[in-house]
Amino acid sequence: MEPNTKYGSHIRGTVTPRGVKIGVKKVTNVRKGGILIETVNDADLDKLISELDSNPEIKNKFDIGKPLQRNPQIICYGVSPETTEDTITNCTAPLTRQAKDIKILHNFKGARGRNWIFESTPEVFKLLSKTTKINIGWERNSYKEYIRPRQCFKCCKFGHPAKHCKETKD
Ligand SMILES: [Zn+2]
């Protein structure tokens, strides 16, 4: 158990999706007592934020905010280890008829093969989301949107990296 779970359960206990009438996709604990809530749409997110903002008990304990908007990131699972970076970079080309419209961020060993994380434009992501699999070379791989807020390693607030942190003490 993470030491932060008590904060998450504090929010979970105080505000419920049914009470606020929103659709929640996923709740994840993040570093230093943070909690990341994904809602089914932006309107529900705004609704949740105003609900949390108007709750003094939560407002005193949490910094409430949205992660910065950025290009969608995609994680693609189980890619064979021989697959080259170039093959990944071109994987959306059959969909978009344009090569290299993705930017590779990271890859790591998964349960099967390697998992690749890349960034693309909202337009490419929209085309991609019409299918549940993505063609990489001769393989068809499952993928999903990769959602990770930008969180500062120094003060653990959202929306800026540690090098831009304004917090003076560690
Ligand atoms: Zn910071």
Q: What is the pLDDT of residues 26-40, one digit of tens each?
A: 888 777 777 888 888
Quickly list DSSP for 141-155: EEEEE-----B-TTT
pLDDT at 8: 64
Q: What is the pLDDT of residue 6?
A: 56
**Cα-to-centroid distance, 112 and ligand 1 (Å):** 36
Which comes out higher in pLDDT, residue 154 or 113? 113
Q: What is the mean pLDDT of residues 125-132?
A: 85
The confidence score (pLDDT) of residue 3 equals 40
Could you tell me the distance, in angstroms and rounded to a whole number, from the CA of residue 65 to the centre of ligand 1? 14
Distance CA 63, CA 42 (A): 19
Q: What is the distance in A from the centroid of ligand 1 to the CA of 11?
A: 22
The two beta strands, 73-79 and 139-145, are antiparallel
With a cut of 90, say whether residue 7 has pLDDT above it: no
Which stretch, 42-56, 62-76, 86-100, has highest mean pLDDT?
42-56
The whole-angstrom separation of Cα 122 and Cα 147 is: 14
Per-chain residues with Cβ under 5 A from ion ligand 1? 152, 154-155, 165, 167
Which is nearest to 69 in space by CA: 7, 169, 158? 158
Percent of the chain surpassing pLDDT 90: 18
